[in-house]
Amino acid sequence: MYRIVAHPGSAHRDDFLSVSILLTILEPVEVFRREPTAADLADPNTYVVDAGMEYNPENHNFDHHHDPSLPCAFHLVMKHFGHHDNAMEIFGWYAHMSMMDVRGPYQTAEHLGIETSVLFAASSPIDGYILSRFSRVTSLTTDDLLYDLMKDLGREMIEQISLKKARLERLRSESEIVRVKNYKILVSRIEEDPKLSMELYLRDLNDESIIMSISPSVRGEGWEMLRLGDNTMVDFRALSGHKEIHFVHANGFVAKTGSLIPMEQAIELASQAINDQ
């Protein structure tokens, strides 16, 4: 039987995500939220995360509080199991999560070039509720619903790394860049989870002249035409009333066709939403 020991009191994303990843890897395992003992730190079958003032991966101790040069415990756990580099590439939130935990919201906001109030305003009530639930327990076993949720979250993160990397390669080989007027449109015909890794591919392309994407809609049949970068020269309200257009958002940033019309026709419609005057 493996054990995971995380600190008691208020829970944070760092200890919560660390435990979630470990739950997907260790079997069987019990989780305890208490201060680790010397015996815990010496036992390689006990994984101590975000507590204990010791980073010793051979003994499965993953704390960072004693060394300001270390990243958060979650990063240390991910590194130990070989997922860190891929997570840095795949998850836009991953690096900043560690910065928030290690350096705090004020230095993180300064690094991002935003006001600290923006970070607080963007905090999720879902995050708050789940962390509060984790804060109130002293132990977790397979009988607890929170155990299942955390294990499923850990599994989802690991699976998403593989799925996103595979999709990124598929986008590189199958997507098209179509020139319209003086600009470009990213076209993808991949129907299953069409948005997967799109932001990663656009980041790789790093081409400001790509101002919209066309891909299968995630809601019903048809193509979704999406303005990229909130480029104001694209306004899909210009397509309102067209017989092939099923939906146009009131703010003009997205439109959807009623069916998967020929791509040449979808591109022609999209070009009508570009105002380059």
Per-residue pLDDT reduced to its tens digit, 163-186: 999 999 999 999 999 999 889 999
pLDDT at 277: 62
* CB-CB neighbours of 120 under 10 Å: 10
What is the arithmetic mean of pLDDT over 139-147?
A: 95
Which residue has better confidence, 119 or 250?
Answer: 250
Per-residue pLDDT reduced to its tens digit, 225-249: 999 987 788 999 999 999 999 999 9
% of the chain beyond a pLDDT of 70? 99
Per-residue pLDDT reduced to its tens digit, 70-128: 999 999 999 999 999 999 999 999 999 999 999 999 999 898 899 999 888 888 999 99
pLDDT at 119: 83
Residues 140, 146, 149, 154: what is their CA dihedral angle, to the nearest 10 degrees? -40
Residue type, 220: G
pTM, to two decimals: 0.89
66-80 burial, b for 16+ CB within 10 Å, e for fewer? eeeebbbbbbbbbbb
Per-residue pLDDT reduced to its tens digit, 23-67: 999 999 999 999 999 999 999 999 999 999 999 999 999 999 999
Q: Which CATH number fits domain 175-271: 3.10.310, 3.30.465, 3.10.150, 3.40.50?
A: 3.10.310
Per-domain residue ranges of the chain: 2-164, 175-271
* Strand-by-strand arrangement of the 61-62 sheet: 55-56, 61-62, 46-49, 2-6, 29-33, 139-140
pLDDT at 229: 86
pLDDT at 219 over 90: no
pLDDT band at 193 (very low <50, low <70, confident <90, very high): very high
